[in-house]
Structure 1
Amino acid sequence: MLLLAAAFVVGFVLLLYMVSPLISPKPLKLPGAHVVVTGGSSGIGKCIAIECYKQGAFITLIARDENKLLQTKKEIEKYSVNDKQVVLCISVDVSKDYEQVENVLKQAQEKLGPVDLLVNCAGTSVTGKFEAIEVNSFERLMAVNYLGSVYPSRAVISTMKERRMGRIVFVSSQAGQLGLFGYTAYSPTKFALRGLAEALQMEVKPYNIYVTVAYPPDTDTPGFAEESKTKPLETKLISETSSVCQAEQVARVIVKDAIQGNFNSSVGSDGYMLSILTSGMSPVTSITEGLQQVVCMGIFRIIGLFYLGSFDSIVRRCMMQREKSESTDKTE
C-alpha cells in the first residue's frame, strides 16, 4: 500500500514536471502597462491602483461617483515614478449597460493603449437573515458583483486575444469560498465569479491570457465599515474569529499574484487554507502549488471541520439566547 502511494506521488510529480512549461506564465511587466480598475475610487480597488501606479503603470479608474474618482486621482498621482504616467477617470456604472461599458473602455484604450491588466473590483454587500433581505437586494447584488465583472471583461477580451497577452482579475471574497450566516445574498454572487473565472481561463489560456480570482478576507475599507452596521450578531461573532486586514496589504498580494498569472490569490494563513480546501478542479500555475494542494488537503479538511463546528455552535447559542430573551419578555 505504501509503495502504491509512493508511486502515485512520484507519478504525479513527474506529470506536473512535464506540463509545467505549459502552465507557468511569464510575469507581466507593469512599467508602461495600461491597468484598468473598476471600483477604483476607494477601498481595495484604490489601493490596487496605487500599487500598480507605483510600479510605473498607466491607470484607468472606473467608478460611479465622479467626485470620489477625482479625489482618488489626485491621491494616486502623488506616487508617480515618471512624468509620462497618466491617471484617467471614467464615471460609469459597470453593472447596468454593457454597450456603455464597452464604449468607455474603447475610449480608455484609445487614450492609454490596449488594456494589459483589468481588475474587476466593483462590488457591494448586503447582510441579514435570508427571509429578512429584500428580494430586489438579491437582484442588485448579482448585477453589481457578477455582471459588473462580466461586462468590463467582455469588453476587453477580444483585444487581449488579438495581442496574445493580458491579465484579468476578479475580486471575490472568502465569502465566495465558504457560505456563512448572513451572506445568503452576497456569497452566491462571489461564488459565481469563481465559476466564471475557471471557464474563462480554460478559453483564454491558449492566447497567453491569465485569470486571477482574489479571495480577500474582511478588509478595513469604507464598504466593510458600512456592512458592519447591519451585520446580524451571528455574522459578527463568526467574523471575529479572524482578524481584519488592511487594504494596502490585500492590494499588494493581488497585484503580485496577477503579475505572476496565479489563478488563486489569498491573504494570510486562513486564506491559504481556504484556497487549498476549495481548489477542486481549479487551474494550477506551478508544480509547488499542485503538490501543496495534494499534500495539505486532508489535514486542512480536519481543521476546517473544527471551524465549521465552532460556527454552528455560535449560531445555536445566538438562537437559544434569542428564544430565551423572547420567552422572558412574554412572561413579564
Structure 2
Amino acid sequence: MSGRTDWSGRHVLVTGGSSGIGLELVRQLHRAGAVVSVIALDDTDLRRLRSSAPDVHVRGADVTDAAAMDLAVAELAAEVGPVRSLFTSAGISKPGYVQDLELGDFRAQMEVNYFGTLHAVRAVLPGMLQAGDGTITCISSAAGLLGVFGYAAYGPSKFAVRGLCAVLRQELKPHGVSVTAVYPPDVDTPQLAMEEPLQPPELRAISGTIKPLTPQRVAAAILRGTGSGRSTVIPDFQTRALRRLVGTAPQFVDRVLDRIIAKARQRKPADPRRNPRPTP
C-alpha cells in the first residue's frame, strides 16, 4: 500500500482491544470512522466493551489458540468484510528474578506475546494477500530493544515480536502489505498496575528513569505511524534515544544500567531466603 491510510470505512481488527493500549486504539479508530473489530478473552473487560460500544464487532477468543483465532477472524470477515488492518495488542507480563519464575511463566508469556501475535497475523494474512492491501501493526516493547533486569520471561517474547516484524516487513511489502513494529516504554495501563507489585527493586529503579506514557498518547502515535507506513514507531523521545545508544554505544548502555542496578541493590533489604540465619 502507499500514501496515508484512510481509516474511514476500513475494517480494522484489534487483538487485546478490551483494555489498555488496545482499548484506546479501538476508541480512536472508532472516532476516525473505521469499522472496528476486537478479539480478546471473554472476560469482564470484553463484556463491558460489548455493552458500551454495541457497534464494535466483538469475539471472545484466546490468542494462543490458533484454531480459535482463525474461526473468530473468519466470522468477523463474513460479518463486515475482510480485515484490512490488524493491531496486535494482546499481551501479558510477569516480572521477577530468573531463578524465581516458574517455567510456566516463560511459556505463558511467549505463547501470548509472540505466538498470539503470530496467530493473529496468519489469520488475517490470506485476505490481505488476496486484496494486495493491508497494514499489520505489532506492539513489542522497549524491552524488545534491549535486555532489562527482571524481564527474563517478558523481554525474550518481545524480542521475538521484533524479529517477526522484521521478516514480515520484507516478505509482505511486495504484496502491498505494510508492517509496523511498536516499542513503547511503560504505559499507564491495568497491566502495568498488576505488574508493579511483582517488580524487583532493580527493575523499579530502571523503570523509574522514564515516566509511564498515557494510552492515549501511545495509541495516537501508533495510528500516525501505521497510517504513514512507518516500519517502526517509538512514542517517546527517551526510548528513541535509548534505541540509538543501544545500536551505537551498547557498552555505555550496559554501564549505565549496571550502575542503576548496583545502587538499587545497595538500598534493597537482605532477602532471608538467600541469607538464612544459622540455627542455634
Give TM-score, length-normalised by structure 2. 0.92
C-alpha distance in 1, partners of 2:143/2:17? 21
Tell me the amino acid that sits aligned with residue 169 of structure 1. T
Structure 1 match to 2:109 = 141
**1:72 Cα deviation (Å)?**
2.1
**1:135 Cα deviation (Å)?**
0.7
Structure 2 match to 1:15 = none
**1:153 Cα deviation (Å)?**
0.5
Unaligned runs of 5+ in 1: 1-23, 78-85, 279-296
Structure 2 match to 1:317 = 263
**1:43 Cα deviation (Å)?**
0.3
* Selected match of 1:118 from 82, 86, 106: 86
Tell me the amino acid that sits aligned with residue 262 of structure 2. R
Structure 1 match to 2:121 = 153
Instruction: Give the superposed CA RMSD.
Output: 2.3
In the alignment, is the contact (CA less than 8 A) between 2:201 and 2:268 conserved in 1? no
**1:318 Cα deviation (Å)?**
3.6
**1:100 Cα deviation (Å)?**
1.7
The secondary structure found in structure 2 opposite 1:139 is: helix
**1:68 Cα deviation (Å)?**
1.6
Tell me the amino acid that sits aligned with residue 312 of structure 1. D
C-alpha distance in 1, partners of 2:37/2:275? 57
* Selected match of 1:259 from 227, 234, 240: 227
Change (3 A) 1:207 1:67: same
In the alignment, is the contact (CA less than 8 A) between 2:136 and 2:179 conserved in 1? yes
Structure 2 match to 1:52 = 29
Structure 2 match to 1:204 = 172
C-alpha distance in 2, partners of 1:318/1:238? 9
Tell me the amino acid that sits aligned with residue 2 of structure 2. P
Tell me the amino acid that sits aligned with residue 89 of structure 1. V
Change (3 A) 1:325 1:102: closer
C-alpha distance in 2, partners of 1:29/1:276? 31
Give TM-score, length-normalised by structure 1. 0.78
* Selected match of 1:90 from 33, 49, 59: 59
The answer as to 2:132 corresponding to 1:164 is yes
Tell me the amino acid that sits aligned with residue 244 of structure 1. P
Change (3 A) 1:31 1:321: closer
Structure 1 match to 2:254 = 308
In the alignment, is the contact (CA less than 8 A) between 2:137 and 2:182 conserved in 1? yes
C-alpha distance in 2, partners of 1:324/1:157? 51
Change (3 A) 1:68 1:324: closer
Judging by fraction of residues, say which structure has more helix: 1
**1:28 Cα deviation (Å)?**
1.5
Matches within 5 A, 1:232-311: 232-277=200-245, 298=248, 301=249, 306-311=252-257
Superimposed CA distance per residue, residues 185-225 of structure 1 (whole angstroms, 9 cap, x where no aligned partner): 00000000011111111111011100000011100000000
In the alignment, is the contact (CA less than 8 A) between 2:183 and 2:235 conserved in 1? yes
Matches within 5 A, 1:10-49: 25-49=2-26
The secondary structure found in structure 2 opposite 1:132 is: coil
Tell me the matched-pair count: 278
**1:308 Cα deviation (Å)?**
3.4
Superimposed CA distance per residue, residues 21-72 of structure 1 (whole angstroms, 9 cap, x where no aligned partner): xxx9322210000010000110000001111111000111111134321312
